[in-house]
Homo-oligomer: A and B are copies of this chain.
Amino acid sequence: MKAFVYGGQNKMSLEDRPKPEIRDPGDAIVKIVKTTICGTDLHILKGDVATCAPGRILGHEGVGTIEAVGRGVTTFRPGDRVLISCISSCGKCEYCRRAMYSHCTTGGWIFGNKIDGTQAEYVRIPYAETSLYPIQLGADDEAMVMLSDILPTGFECGVLNGRIQPGSTVAIVGSGPIGLAALLTAKFFSPSQIVMIDLDNNRLAVAKRFGATAIINGAGGDAAARALALTGGIGVDSAIEAVGIPATLELCTKIVAPGGVVANIGVHGSKVDLHFETLWDRNITITTRLVDTTSTPMLLKTVMSGTVEPKQLITHHFKLDDILAAYDTFGRAAETDALKVIIEA
């Protein structure tokens, strides 16, 4: 089968690989219908993710059709259309029983990282019954692909951890795909303000179209002052970090109101200086989280009922044969205005 393979720092190729097979009773083999590329895949290609060895098939998102199941799988059968969660959950370890699938002792984020992933014609899914979600055949596959990672990530790490409430004020720092997913799902709770901060005017324009009540281009260096001004100098109830660098996390701590939350989504590569000499008495909360995908069943309902339309995040389409072009387009987002790119297998 065709598969997109990480070959070591800055090396990638579309290769021919053997079709995966059932190994454990709980496995399923899924034929990929649509997949996509995540910012994390770019991190891997830069050589930043030590757990991902050269030779790995990348990808942790996708929709497909069950091809085969292990003898322990009773709730899925060949032909079922399924959504693949970016997080594998065994369903029985202490973390899974506490609904913290991200830290499943034998699962978590393994696809396209510790085991072969979804940017291929087929993928082997361990713990299929607790890591796949059935979807109706009529459902929009491309909208569904957004539920593998980006929508639950924005919602769980940003919106839920950020404790957004009706009438509350929100700032989202970073208007890329993840920040926009946080924006789309923040609206579930009817906050009175959603202020979007980024350096890219195109992404800010998208944010405005998606429902941001204000946008701030941070290039001027006055983002904190402008965000504070929008809340009468008090700050926002929830400041969501969706970039992953020290400056943006620090910005969040400057614009959060007393009693508020800084909810980090970004993948950080270095330490961050936090000014506890001004934060210690502010009654704030700072959260970190790798998505658990516990909200996936709920998000499926909201997509099916039309409450949220994640397809809006998709800007480009490619065939699996052209995945190198897809990576190029996604990697040069500032020029191509790419958000999410769909890859058809």
Contacts and interface: CB of A to CB of B under 8 A. Distances in A.
Interface stretch (A118-126, A136-144, A301-309, A315-323): A301-309
Given A259-B100, A302-B166, A94 B189 contact: no
Contacts of A269: 277
A71 B26 CA distance: 11
A22 interface: no
A299 B167 CA distance: 7
Contact of A283 (B100, B258, B280, B299): B100
A271 B250 CA distance: 11
B98 A192 contact: no
A97 B259 CA distance: 13
Nearest to A75: B92
Nearest to A70: B72
A336 interface: no
B100 A258 contact: yes
Contacts of A275: 271
* Max chain B Cβ within 10 angstroms of own Cβ: one of A95, A100, A271: A271
Report copies per complex: 4
Interface residues of A, number: 70
A258 B103 contact: yes
A25 B69 CA distance: 14
Interface string A121-136: 0000000011000000
A297 B130 contact: no
Given A192-B301, A192-B305, A302-B167, A26 B72 contact: yes
A240 to B, nearest CB: 13
A283 B290 contact: yes
- In the A-B complex, the 6 residue pairs with the closest CB atoms: A281-B290, A268-B276, A167-B298, A166-B188, A188-B190, A167-B301
Interface of A: 25-26, 71-72, 75, 91-92, 94-100, 102-103, 129-130, 165-168, 185, 187-190, 192-193, 213, 244, 246, 249, 258-259, 264, 266-277, 279-290, 292, 294, 297-299, 301-302, 304-305, 307
